[in-house]
Structure 1
Amino acid sequence: MRPPPTHYATLPITRGEIAHSISATGTVNPVLTIIVGSYVSGVIQQQFCDFNTRVHKGQLCAKIDPRPYQSIVDQARADLANAHAQIVKDRAQLAYAKSAADRDATLLQHGIVSQDTADNARSAYDQARAQVAVDTAVIAQRSAALRTAEVNLDYTNIVSPVDGTVVSRNVTIGQTVAASFQTPTLFLIATDLTQMQVDTNVSESDIGGLRENTPATFTVEAFPKRQFAGRIVQVRQAPQTVQNVVTYDVVIGIRNLDLSLKPGMTATTRILLATREHALRVPDQALRFAPSQAASLPPLPAGSARIWVLRQARPVAVTVTIGLDDDSYSEITSGDVREGERVIVGETTGRTNAPALAAPRLRT
């Protein structure tokens, strides 16, 4: 009995653009985000900044109740004033001790006083002079304590260190801020929302072809029909391993002049590695096809692939060299094929007037 005929589904070999790219997901972030915290503990007394507030360097954003720190400053000032008064007193004592020591030394030369009396006067003078030196050190100590207290008092004013926009506020009036063990985050300030970046995680298998200034595009769910263009500004040398998968952070710079991109948006990125214009290309389905009745063929050399071309209604195996691949088409750099020939992408066996597989639409 004659075997049923075999029907082949084919697609043409065409010329067109092939763009080799990799895809990754990432997060839209400001280029520089400043964390504003608190050095001192206390109760938030006033709040002047909120979400989306435009702030300038030195602008007051919040104020911690300053009364406990003001009292420490007042006490430190009083201690310093006491130290100044003490040195005035001890300097007067030093002057008297010097006069007594000089007088007793003169009287000793005339035999009027004993040696012990003169030695006691000299000892009192040396002690008075040492006490003045101690008072000088105490004044320096009290001055340092006063400066420390004034610094802590000044830290009750939470100010913005840069010009920017408040993107996060983690404090409210009446809230107690505890800075004993670590600095609490009160505000996050983005310096410039017109310059954003996308932090993507690229697998180690794709990281080798990435370079700075490589073009990239991405989309966000808020604007699914809009494609944003940027360039790689940094390939960070810090690997991240999650469940034995190694990825690297690739930073893509983007201008956000209309402020449509918001911090935290999820971005689906496409990084373009190489392109070919007017490349001779073949659909990827053809590289995976092999006739069911094909005889055994010799193994392919490295870097080559085998496609089946329909010639005179018969499949003919052709060895080709493959270049770029964009997951839809592969570039043919050499091989006995020409534009317009039809390559086989599928087959069916049986009597039917319909093609074996519906030919996919060609991408132009």
Structure 2
Amino acid sequence: MSVLSPLARVWARLGFVRWLLLIALAAGAYWLFGRDKVDPASQVVSSVVKRGDVEVSVLATGKVEAAKTVDVGAQASGQIQRLLVKLGDRVKKGDLLAEIDPSVSQNDFDEAQMSIEGLQAQQTIKQLALQEAHLELARQKTMIEGDATPRRELEAAQINVKMRQAEIVQLGTQLRQAEIKRDKAKTNLGFTRIVAPMDGVVASIAVKEGQTVNAIQSAPTILTLADMDMMKIQAQVAEADVVRIKTGTPLYFSVLGDPDTKIRAQVLGLEPSPQTINNAIFYNALSLVPNRQGVLHQQMTAQVTFILAQANNVLTVPVGALGKKTGAGEQYTVKVLDAEGKISERQLQIGLRSNIVAEVKSGLKEGEKVVMGAPESSPQPQPERRGR
């Protein structure tokens, strides 16, 4: 194997550098002289005038809630013996949801019932005593007519009748009080059976079987029922946009899980008190939608679009094609690209305008092309020739 001398190695490196220089020169020559020339007009970005819908709208983010929710509380104290529902269960009004240990309430009811029975027995005794007093009074009257008894005996018999009558009245009052106490105990006993106050879905459960609840100071929440057949959309509208929205304004919204499906509704009202979020003021716009298919759920995020104005199946042009505003009204200059690639200026009258497209009132025909943008080397627009 031969070994190159230092001088040979230097010449070899110079040869490699020469090759790199030749390649760079060839690439530069191709870039300057060998490329095909491109027609500047072909670089013009254009859009076809076509029919479509124009929508002036306000966007907002909303939240899906049940139209009606009820916190079902316990009015009786004690241990939860049975919990008959679970999350997501659909219940009807009157269905049994849970049971609290009824022993204390049952004892109160039994005690009240026995008190009533005791008073009723006393009432019977007093009525018999009253009958006896009436008999004694009649006997004394007969005897006084024959001057066979002193008058004080007659008077004592009369007083005895009145006393017995008063005792019966007093017992009647006590009996009514005892009946009220019994009815209250019966009601409290009924409170140990917690039933659904409305049709709905079990949205949350706050207790477990075996847990003790205390209803003396406040009614503890057992569970929450939600009416999921009708849902409420609560949209947060920015302060700058809320002045354009009113009751009856149409809207549609979609949820994150199904962004392509538009659910339509209308504004039922605006909450008067605003919310401050990150130093920005928002007002809640409320609407209701049926949820018969059960697609909507609590706390879903809704992308809401309020429709302020709308034009359907009209000629449209991209907003990006509009040039300077000229004259009175909504008149603009647009650049039109003809079939030969020439650009001319034309006056355009527009109607509704969204952030994307504008309605063409006059100045363009369906199928014509408007220029969205052109490079600096493109031909300058030529004044459009009108037929004589």
Aligned position for 1:242: 275
Aligned position for 1:324: 352
Aligned position for 1:309: 334
Greater mean deviation of Cα atoms: 135-144 or 10-19: 10-19
The CA distance in 1 between the partners of 2:101 and 2:217, in whole Å, is 20
Aligned position for 2:314: 279
CA contact (8 A) 1:217 1:227 kept: no
The CA distance in 2 between the partners of 1:342 and 1:90, in whole Å, is 109
Call closer, same or farther: CA 1:273–1:187 in 2, change over 3 Å: same
Name whichever structure is richer in helix by fraction.
2
1:49 partnered with 2:85: yes
1:219 partnered with 2:254: yes
Q: How does 1:156-235 map to 2 (within 5 A)?
A: 156-193=192-229, 195-202=230-237, 204-208=242-246, 211=248, 214=250, 216-224=251-259, 226-232=260-266, 235=268
The CA distance in 2 between the partners of 1:314 and 1:56, in whole Å, is 71
Aligned position for 1:359: none
1:85 partnered with 2:136: no
The CA distance in 2 between the partners of 1:50 and 1:272, in whole Å, is 41
Call closer, same or farther: CA 1:223–1:272 in 2, change over 3 Å: same
Deviations 1:56-115 (A, max 9, x none): 433322111211111111110111111101101111111111112222222223333333
CA contact (8 A) 2:237 2:283 kept: yes
Please, which of 129, 134, 137 is the counterpart of residue 170 of structure 2?
Answer: 134
Tell me how far 1:164 sits from its aligned partner.
3.6
Call closer, same or farther: CA 1:256–1:201 in 2, change over 3 Å: farther
**AA at the equivalent of 1:211:** G
**AA at the equivalent of 1:307:** Y
Aligned position for 2:23: none
Give the TM-score of the pair, scaled to structure 1. 0.76
The CA distance in 2 between the partners of 1:264 and 1:311, in whole Å, is 49
Tell me how far 1:146 sits from its aligned partner.
0.6
CA contact (8 A) 1:52 1:165 kept: yes
Tell me how far 1:162 sits from its aligned partner.
3.5
The CA distance in 2 between the partners of 1:127 and 1:277, in whole Å, is 94
The CA distance in 2 between the partners of 1:106 and 1:315, in whole Å, is 135
The CA distance in 2 between the partners of 1:237 and 1:102, in whole Å, is 82
Aligned position for 2:12: none
Identity across the alignment (%): 25
Q: Larger RCO: Structure 1 or Structure 2 (Cα < 8 Å, ≥ 6 residues apart)?
A: 1
**AA at the equivalent of 2:274:** T
CA contact (8 A) 2:202 2:223 kept: yes
1:101 partnered with 2:109: no
Q: Give 1 or 2 for the bigger CA radius of gyration.
A: 2
Tell me how far 1:187 sits from its aligned partner.
1.8
Call closer, same or farther: CA 1:131–1:227 in 2, change over 3 Å: same
Aligned position for 2:287: 251
**AA at the equivalent of 2:86:** D
Call closer, same or farther: CA 1:315–1:189 in 2, change over 3 Å: same
CA contact (8 A) 1:13 1:280 kept: no
**AA at the equivalent of 1:47:** L
Aligned pair count? 326
Call closer, same or farther: CA 1:280–1:342 in 2, change over 3 Å: same
**AA at the equivalent of 1:325:** R
Tell me how far 1:323 sits from its aligned partner.
2.8
The CA distance in 2 between the partners of 1:116 and 1:285, in whole Å, is 120
The CA distance in 2 between the partners of 1:202 and 1:120, in whole Å, is 88
Deviations 1:139-198 (A, max 9, x none): 2221121111011011111122344432211111232323334433222223455x5443
CA contact (8 A) 2:321 2:334 kept: no
Give the TM-score of the pair, scaled to structure 2. 0.72
Deviations 1:251-271 (A, max 9, x none): 1414442x3432221111224
Tell me how far 1:14 sits from its aligned partner.
2.1
Tell me how far 1:130 sits from its aligned partner.
1.6
**AA at the equivalent of 2:361:** T
* Unaligned segments of structure 2, at least 5 residues: 1-40, 380-388
Call closer, same or farther: CA 1:182–1:9 in 2, change over 3 Å: farther
* Unaligned segments of structure 1, at least 5 residues: 1-6, 291-296, 356-364
CA contact (8 A) 1:27 1:266 kept: yes
The CA distance in 2 between the partners of 1:235 and 1:27, in whole Å, is 15
CA contact (8 A) 2:255 2:301 kept: yes
The CA distance in 2 between the partners of 1:323 and 1:247, in whole Å, is 30
CA contact (8 A) 2:64 2:296 kept: yes
**AA at the equivalent of 1:268:** Q
